[in-house]
Structure formats: C-alpha cells, structure tokens
Chain A
C-alpha cells in the first residue's frame, strides 16, 4: 500500500509541475498577478509531494519491503541501516528520484529566497524550472518508477553493489546532483532573461549567487567522488577520465566559465550574449551527462539501441531544452546588444581568455568522450580514447590558465596597469619557481620533468598571488568584500590542487610485489613488513586480511590492514586498501591474490602530496561559499541599474 502512495505522490507532483510551468510562463506573459503568485504556491506543493515520495522510498528500504522491485534489487537483510538509506540513490530509479527532489529543492529555494526579484521574472524562472521538473518526473514515472512491485516477493534482497557501501558514497551523489541540477537555475534565469528581454547588471547579481552555489556543490561532489575512487576502488588513482567522470567535469568547466563571465556582465554589462550561451551550455552538458550515465549508451551504443526507451526519453529532453533555448537565443540575443569597450590589458580580457580556455578544455573533453560512441555508431572500429589524450588536451589549455589567473586577479576593469603590481607579481612568479625547484630537488631528489617545476611554481605563484591582497588589507585593517575574499580562497585552492597533482604525477611510486608473511619490500625509503594474514568477517562479507607495518629507517610509521572482501550475496570480491595519511604523502597498500607457495600479490604505493588535490577542491568550494555570503546579494530592493564606468 505504502509504495502506491509513493507513486500517487509522484503523479500529483507531475501534474503540479505542469501547472508550475503553465502559471509561471503564461502568468508572466499576461502579467497576471494571481497566476504568478499561484506559481510560487504550486512550487512548494511540488516539493512537498516529491519529498513525500522520496521518504516513502527511504521507508521501504528501512523496512526491507522487497515487494518493491527497486528495494529487492538494491538492499539486503544484512545491509547496515546507513547503507540502506544510501541505497535509495544507489541505482538508476532512486538516483532519478533524488535528481528530481534536488531540482524541486532548488525551485523552492528560488521561490523563497528571491523576494527582490520582480514577480514576472520570478514566475518565468519558476515556470522554466517547472518544465524541467515535468520532463524529469515524466521520465521517472514512465520509464523508471522506483515503486514498481515485484512478484513473487523474494525472501531477501540482492544487496547493494559492494563498491557503493561506503560513507563517501552516501554523500557523493547528493552533493554532485546539487551541482548538476543547480545549473538548471542559471539556465532558468537565462531563459527568463531572454523571454523578458531584460538582462542588466541586476540580472547578473540575481543569477550569480545561485550559479556559484551550484558550482560549489559540483566542486565538492566531484572532489568527494575522486576521493572515493581513490580509496574504494582500491587502486590509488584519483582521476581516471572515465566517461562518467567526464560527464560531471564538463558541466563544472562550463559553470566555472559562467561564474567568471557573469562577473563581467554584472560589473561592466559586457559579454551578455556569451553569458546566456554559457548558461545554456552548462545546463546542456549536465543533461548530456545525465543522458550518458543513465541511458546505457556508454556501456555500448548497441545495448542502448536494444533497449532505447530510457535513452530516447533523456535524449528527447536534451534536444527539447537545447533546441528550445538556442532558438530563443537566436531570436532574442541580437536585441541584447553589448556596449562599452575595454583595453587589451584589462580584467575583461583576462576573463575572456579564462572563458576561452575553459570552454576549449570542455570541448576537447567532450570530443574525447563522445568519439568512441561516434566511431562505434558508424561501425568505424572500436576504439578507446585513453587518459593520455585527456591529459594532453587538458594540460595544454590549463597550464597557461594557472599563470593567467595569478596575474589576472589583480587586473582592474576597463584598463589594467601593472606598473605598481607587476614587480611584486614577478617576484611571486620567480619565488614560486624557486620554491618549486627547491622542493623538487631537496625532498624528491630530482627535478623530475620540466612540468614538475612549472606545476609547483605555478601553484605557489597562484597561492601567493591569491593571498596577497586579502592579507595586505587585513594588515592595514581595510574592509574587504566577501566576494573578493571568496575569490582569493578559491584561487588559493586551485594553487593547492595544482601542487598536489604535480607532486603525485611526478613522484608517485607504484609497485606490485609478491610477498608472504615475514617478507619486506621498500619503496621511497619506506619499508613495508608483511606481518601476518588471517580471515576476517564483516556484517555482510567475509575477508582475507593482511597486516602490514611500515617503517622508515628504524622508526615505525604506520600499521595498516588491507582486506580482500568477498560479499555474500553479490559474490564479487573487492579490495579494501590500507592507507597511511600524512601531510606530505599517503602510503597505500592493497592486497591482491593468493599466488601459492605462501605468497600474495600486493600493490604498494607512495603518493606524495595527494591530499592537496582534494584539499584544493574543498578550498575552491569554500571560496564559493564565502562569495555567496557577500552583502550585495542580500540587498532585496531592485534598484535602477547603472552600468559602472
């Protein structure tokens, strides 16, 4: 009975999103105050019903209701409570429900927290979000209902995929979706701007905090995912250029470009068309990501063709929103003429370059992600585009970007002069390279490749350049805007990230060895002692466990345990790595197979500076948070806007 209430709640929500779209868009068009007010009320209703459906699914998981097919396939009597809840978004149907829940959450937040917006504008934004919600609720209802019953009812469930039974994975999808789906808000603002023909500095000021909020969630979500893959997949990589990863990274690049382009649109009234286009791109790439992940097209173009209902539905939504918004863009963009100019050296031109590089990187990653699919669909051979491609095409635009960010942050609008700042920045650059070279030589004993020094140097330069102004202002007790501090913190995070990546890429050591109890192996000056091995048992798995202690010289460093787990229901084995964390490196040991003769295969890794990759991501997101809290976003009144300069 309860699951049917869930279905009913989704149906009502579906009907309400249709009303939300209608009252929002038509109400704004007719300037009907009642219709527009109704839109906000309906938005709250949609949220309530989707939330109810979501909780009903959670309840079905908690109570082991295996009459629900989705629960039977993704849960188990022995699955711990926390993972039964996380299992709600562990597979297709539930993660779509989460997608919709997050969309309606964003819609509700927009309707509640944007009192300063003109009524017609808010109605258009909510109407557009209603359209998106209608599409995805229909998708959920008609192709992927999480409440479908299963008959006959199994006595026990098939269990959640073991690799998903992990705390980081409980948090990763919701955070990632907050970001993914959050791009729909920027998209809705862009559509509303095009429909109303109003796109001024106030528009950018309304749009910016929402876009930054979505970007922040996306940043955190990707960071969590990378961290999870690092320790849970057991092989110590932090990024694989897997299509699923790319699917989340492309919207990130586009929305990063968007938040920078929005800055220009707000402060100078320039790049308006480009900003609109970026908002459309960011959302389209999110939809494309959803399509790639949810349609099965990645597994094989042909398996997609065999069961195309889901894929075609998302593809239809994708086309509808892309074609619709681009058509609107083609009609309306010319009327949003840009005025005002800027000198070749100015904040505007730095941000323009930033956008060009970010979009180029996103385009190249898109090409590499889709290329195998294109080749396969035309039967031109089965190829794979490997990490070397992505590393190459990502590094080429991103390396200059690191230097540009460090310099560009200090540029003024319209025309920038480096007469006073150039000297200090030059010192930062030389100092950064010197420190980078010193670290490479003193701690790692070699200069590595030239890229290592450039990476370290660029990272330190960026960190120094980011902190310079906030620290000077702090010292002089001058007030500073939170937006500026947020920018500095986020850019500081990029510096950390670059240093982390350079360290890992240049100095990591991975070694597969054959070891038995009593054996030792040494990498990077650390000696791994294989002490003993025994059987172990978890709530829903059995494991072979190895105990390894690590010493450096005579000093003990860490005692680690690594397991090869065999899950009872889903019989696939899984490696659980032992990781010793320190500020300057990770030591990583993963148990492999029984090789016979008392030996085991074992993977030992030394990962210098790897933590800064994720710490950098956290700093970037934190910077975004500080920027959102800037005072000017909370000024409720809509004032007549004059473009500065």
Chain B
C-alpha cells in the first residue's frame, strides 16, 4: 500500500468505528433516558402516563400508609404546591422517612405513581438535586417563606 492509500484506509476505519460507536450510543439512549417530573408538572399533565419516568419531592408528613405487616406502602410526595400519591411494594431505603426528599422510578397510572424503585441518598443532608431545585422553584412561587414548612428552608442550603 502506498502511504496515501494507507491514510485513506485509516480514515475509513476511524469513520466506520465512530459511526458504529454513535449507533451504539443512540441505541443505548433510545429507551433508557428517564425524565424527571415534580408533582406540579404531574398535576399539570406534563408527565406521560404509562411510560417509565422519575418523580421526586418531599414525603408529606403523616402520609405514609400501610396495612400492618404488609409490604405494600402508599405515601404522598409534595413540592408544597401540588402532590402525587405513590404506591410501592418492597423494601424502602434506609433514609426513607416523612419529611425526606426522595425520588421514585416508575409509571404514572390514573394519577397514581406506581413505583418500582424508591431512592433516598445515603447522606442525611442530601436531597436529590432535582427535588431541591423543584422545591426551591415552587417555594419561591408561593411568595416567600411565611407559610413554607420549616424543612423547606433546610433544603435550600443543601447539599454540601
């Protein structure tokens, strides 16, 4: 091969490689990007039904309901403007508790979020960033901190 041909083949090989890699990336992205919605967006009908998404917010005080001895649990997450009911069966993460910011993976069905996974990060001070941002936005929208729950103020300082 002349150097010129060699360069040409190298170029072709690199382009084919990049093309294949891009194809793999697009294939991977196809169904595996999960969008995040906060309770207000869910209420506003912005979140798709029957599609795998994430929703997040604070677990509302006094909202955790379960039959004694049953793995099924139901709770409400809120961004202090709107709220969404979440149903889940299984073990909740260590840091799950009322007043804690969480993210749930799952699907929206008839206005109820059927979660297949509930996440709370392993650090007390940590609030999932999407949740912190959404809470801050809604909180400001409500016009100041006068009637905001005390816990919302700590959310703004997070995380560190």
Contacts and interface: CB of A to CB of B under 8 A. Distances in A.
B124 A571 contact: yes
Interface of A is mostly: mixed
Given A389-B32, A598-B69, A601-B71, A360 B133 contact: no
Interface string A368-404: 1001000000000111111011101100110000000
Interface stretch (B21-29, B79-87, B106-114): B21-29
A143 interface: no
A118 interface: no
B71 A512 contact: yes
A364 interface: yes
Nearest to B34: A384
B122 A163 contact: yes
A153 interface: no
Closest 9 CB pairs of A and B: A300-B129, A596-B68, A597-B69, A597-B68, A599-B69, A389-B32, A382-B36, A512-B90, A592-B91
A572 B71 contact: no
A598 B70 CA distance: 11
Interface in B9-39: 17, 20-21, 24-25, 27-29, 31-36
Contact of A389 (B28, B92, B95): B28
A299 interface: yes
Contacts of B1: 341
A235 to B, nearest CB: 8
A233 interface: yes
A529 interface: no
Interface of A: 161, 163, 233-234, 299-300, 302-303, 341, 356, 360, 363-364, 367-368, 371, 381-386, 388-390, 392-393, 396-397, 512-514, 516, 564, 570-575, 590, 592-593, 595-599, 601-603
A559 B146 CA distance: 55
Interface in B121-152: 122-124, 126, 129-130, 132-133
- Of A364, A392, A571, most buried by chain B (CB within 10 Å of CB) is A392
A373 to B, nearest CB: 11
Contacts of A570: 124
A595 B71 contact: yes
B71 A383 contact: no
A509 B29 CA distance: 27
B94 A574 contact: yes
- Of A360, A513, A571, most buried by chain B (CB within 10 Å of CB) is A360
B29 A389 contact: yes
Nearest to A357: B17
Nearest to A300: B129
On chain B, which size bracket covers the interface? 35 or more
Contacts of B89: 512
A382 B31 CA distance: 15
Interface of B: 1, 17, 20-21, 24-25, 27-29, 31-36, 54, 66, 68-71, 89-92, 94-95, 122-124, 126, 129-130, 132-133, 159
Contact of B94 (A303, A341, A572): A572
B28 A392 contact: yes
A516 B71 CA distance: 12
A513 B71 contact: yes
Nearest to B29: A389
A570 B34 CA distance: 32
A384 B36 contact: yes
Contacts of B91: 512, 590, 592-593, 601-603
Contacts of A364: 21, 24-25, 28
B129 A299 contact: yes
A234 B95 CA distance: 12
A225 B36 CA distance: 29
20 contacts: A299-B129, A300-B129, A300-B132, A360-B17, A360-B24, A368-B28, A382-B35, A382-B133, A383-B34, A384-B54, A386-B34, A512-B71, A512-B90, A570-B124, A573-B94, A573-B95, A592-B92, A595-B66, A596-B66, A597-B68
Nearest to B6: A341
Nearest to B90: A512
Contacts of A574: 94, 122
A341 B3 CA distance: 11
Nearest to A367: B25
B69 A356 contact: no
- Of A389, A516, A602, most buried by chain B (CB within 10 Å of CB) is A389
